[in-house]
């Protein structure tokens, strides 16, 4: 399964989605960026633009692909996620049916309930890392393994 995820930046904040509205949601209670699953025939950027517009009402005008994250889970299979940031957009923010949207100062994002693997790629974004490939292996909600550009990471101290 292919997905996109985008962290939209404005005034030192990321637009974050607190996943609290869907009845069955593997991200329930977590804070994530915006994005979603590819539709048939979509490219990563087409999926990104559609998902951001659907979830936020915003139309992206400037965005960057930073990496591909492979999620492997014993519960939800394997997923390939194209990770973007964006700092250009038009439109007005609207409510999202998947959760609550909020502009969160980037230096406060790490204090939110996040997936352990998200902390790794958010750190890479903050460090300005070059394009990367990251593999995250989960058992249930627990991150068991992380591999960055072919090298094992110490998940206790990523």
**For the chain, how long is the longest CA-to-CA vector?**
42
| Tens-level pLDDT at each residue, the chain (158 residues) | 999 999 999 999 999 998 666 566 565 568 989 999 999 999 999 999 999 999 999 999 999 999 999 999 998 889 999 999 999 999 999 998 888 999 999 999 999 999 999 999 999 999 999 999 999 999 988 999 999 999 999 887 65
The domain made up of 2-152 has a fold known as: Nucleoside Triphosphate Pyrophosphohydrolase (3.90.79)
Q: Where are the domains of the chain?
A: 2-152
Q: What is the pLDDT of residue 121?
A: 95
pLDDT of residue 75: 87
Q: What is the 3-state secondary structure (H, E, C) of the chain?
A: CEEEEEEEEECCEEEEEECCCCCCCCCCCCEECEEEECCCCCCHHHHHHHHHHHHHCCEEEEEEEEEEEEEEECCCEEEEEEEEEEEEEECCCCCECCEEEEEEEHHHHHHCCCCHHHHHHHHHHHHCCCCEEEEEEEECCEEEEEEECCEECCCCCC
Q: What is the pLDDT of residue 57?
A: 96
| Entry pTM | 0.93
pLDDT for residue 31: 92
What pLDDT does 26 receive?
A: 63
Between CA 48 and CA 39 the distance in angstroms is 11
- Separation of alpha carbons 73 and 86, rounded Å: 28
């Amino acid at each position: 399964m292919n997905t996109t995820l985008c962290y939209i930046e404005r005034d030192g904040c990321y637009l974050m989605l607190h996943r609290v509205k869907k009845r069955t949601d593997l991200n329930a209670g977590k804070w994530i960026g915006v994005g979603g699953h590819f539709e048939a025939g979509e490219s990563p950027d087409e999926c990104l633009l559609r998902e951001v517009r659907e979830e936020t009402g915003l139309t992206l005008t400037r965005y960057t692909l930073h990496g591909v994250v492979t999620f492997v889970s014993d519960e939800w299979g394997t997923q390939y996620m194209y990770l973007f940031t964006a700092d250009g957009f038009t439109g007005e923010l609207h409510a999202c049916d998947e959760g609550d949207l909020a502009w969160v100062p980037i230096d406060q994002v790490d204090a939110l309930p996040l997936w352990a693997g998200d902390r790794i790629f958010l750190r890479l974004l903050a460090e300005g890392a070059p394009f990367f490939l990251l593999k995250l292996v989960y058992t249930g909600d627990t991150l068991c393994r992380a591999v960055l550009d072919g090298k094992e990471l110490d998940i206790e101290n990523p």
